[in-house]
Amino acid sequence: MADRLPVIVFDVNETLSDMTPMARRFADVGAPEHLAPLWFTSVLRDGFGLTAAGAQQPFAAIAAGVLRTLFSGLDLTRDTDAAIEHVMEGFGGLGTHPDVPDGVWALHDAGFRLVTLSNGAARVAEGLLTRAGIRDRFERLLSVEDAGAWKPARAAYAHAAEACGVDLADTLLVAVHPWDLDGAARAGMATAYIDRTGAPYPDHLTAPTHTVTALPGLAQRLS
Amino acid sequence: MADRLPVIVFDVNETLSDMTPMARRFADVGAPEHLAPLWFTSVLRDGFGLTAAGAQQPFAAIAAGVLRTLFSGLDLTRDTDAAIEHVMEGFGGLGTHPDVPDGVWALHDAGFRLVTLSNGAARVAEGLLTRAGIRDRFERLLSVEDAGAWKPARAAYAHAAEACGVDLADTLLVAVHPWDLDGAARAGMATAYIDRTGAPYPDHLTAPTHTVTALPGLAQRLS
């Protein structure tokens, strides 16, 4: 990797997209906003559990299924199916974090090949990056749906490297999620942690190769 | 399995133990009580993520590490290390759900061999069942720490079957967690869901063999 630029593989949900508006969707249907992070974490729990058990389900199916469980027993402002639909629709209108366009432009201008690899559907990334005006900076938008396993299983990262025609050692994962960086590191990738919140990086997961507080800092770190 | 009684393998946290007092531990240190379910779900997310990536860390290490992240930026009533210690100590004093002793007695009296299999440490189950006066009804208290992988990976369930000297097809997992029942079913076990809350069982995970609203109902279902 010392002799050539790594292919930069971006996580999508929360790393590129700002998911804070999802909490408002919970409030809209009469559910507490603090259920939004519990929901997202529960989706990952079930997705990773299935992966650990050798199985796989689409992100959207798990996301809707977890909502049905979380909404059980709540006094919602609309029926459960409509409430689930309202929250799920929120995914289709998210924006990127303010630092993302500048960071993507800087990395693209520096000559890096850029792709995304999401546990969600590729069309969600397609919409997000198109709305932000940066879709054309990305060579490919990949989903674990074509990998046979969710991140952080090695097969998910290997799928991205293979799709780009490079070895895992010639790739670098960018994410805000320590579990993702840990899996990527175990698969042999370099890693970059975007630390937008200042929360301590957990000791129980592999430390990242690089840490920056916003995406534009990464181009500087890598050049 | 039709010709002989299955060995009954119990999940521990939330299935046997009532974890609702953990929320009070969060309030004690100045953190919102609604962080308690987010904390437990995040511990499972990281534990399953490591499992999917082919790695493993002790439950207590992940639980403390996730607390450090969740407590970041909060105005706690004591320093972070003391707050983490206070929450973690809560595990050592939990009681069982009210239906557990009667259910365990009924299953034991019906001739079933009973064991536990936890993603946590065996000593947590030891303390819980001793305080409830039902420790002697259990043949073994097992932890995934000796299996090389957390539930819901197949290796965790296989460890329990092997420790009991039976095939997976001659075991039955009892849990309140659909992800656990899903993994057990995929490993070849029969499963029983203790549905104490009435929340719908998620479509994205394998449906249980049996569903009861409290543990004493299981002995009736199986006899």
Q: Cβ contact (<8 Å) for A52 and B150?
A: yes
CA end-to-end distance (rounded Å), chain B: 13
Q: Say whether both B107 and B211 belong to one domain.
A: yes
In whole numbers, what is the pLDDT of chain B averaged over residues? 97
Domain presence at residue A76: yes
Q: Say whether both A105 and A83 belong to one domain.
A: no
Residue where one domain finishes, among candidates A93, A109, A133? A93
Structural domain total, chain A: 2
Measuring CA to CA, how many Å separate A86 from each of A23, A90, B148, B202? Answer: 12, 7, 41, 19
Is there a contact between A109 and A2 (Cβ–Cβ < 8 Å)? no
Q: Cβ contact (<8 Å) for B203 and A42?
A: no
Length reported for chain A: 223
Q: Say whether both A128 and A194 belong to one domain.
A: yes
Amino acid, single-letter form, for residue A163? A
Low-confidence ranges of chain A (pLDDT < 50): 1-2
Domain of A42, in residue numbers: 21-93
Domain presence at residue B177: yes
Q: Say whether both A198 and A187 belong to one domain.
A: yes
Q: Say whether both B89 and B178 belong to one domain.
A: no
pLDDT value, residue B199: 87
The domain spanning residue B50 has which CATH number? Answer: 1.10.150.240
The domain spanning residue B185 has which CATH number? Answer: 3.40.50.1000
Give Cβ neighbours of residue A12 (< 8 Å, ≥ 6 apart). Answer: A116, A117, A118, A120, A124, A125, A128
pLDDT tens for each residue of B42-80:
999 999 999 999 999 999 999 999 999 999 999 999 999
Interface of B with A in 168-197 (CB under 8 A): 178-179, 182-183, 186-187, 197
Q: Say whether both A105 and A158 belong to one domain.
A: yes
Q: Say whether both A45 and A101 belong to one domain.
A: no
Q: Say whether both B110 and B206 belong to one domain.
A: yes
> What gap in Å lies between CA B33 and CA B90, rounded to an integer?
14
Residue where one domain finishes, among candidates B73, B93, B113? B93
A60 touching B (Cβ < 8 Å): no
Q: Say whether both B62 and B99 belong to one domain.
A: no
Q: Say whether both A80 and A57 belong to one domain.
A: yes
Interface of B with A in 72-101 (CB under 8 A): 72-73
Chain A: nearest CA to B42, how far in angstroms?
6
pLDDT value, residue A3: 60
Q: Say whether both A171 and A185 belong to one domain.
A: yes
Q: Can you tell me which residue has the tokens 């759900």? A: B97
Residue where one domain finishes, among candidates A66, A93, A120? A93
Q: Say whether both A140 and A164 belong to one domain.
A: yes
Question: Within 13 A of A7's CA, how many CA atoms are on the CB side?
Answer: 22
Mean pLDDT, rounded, for B33-41: 98
pLDDT tens for each residue of B128-163:
999 999 999 999 999 999 999 999 999 999 999 999
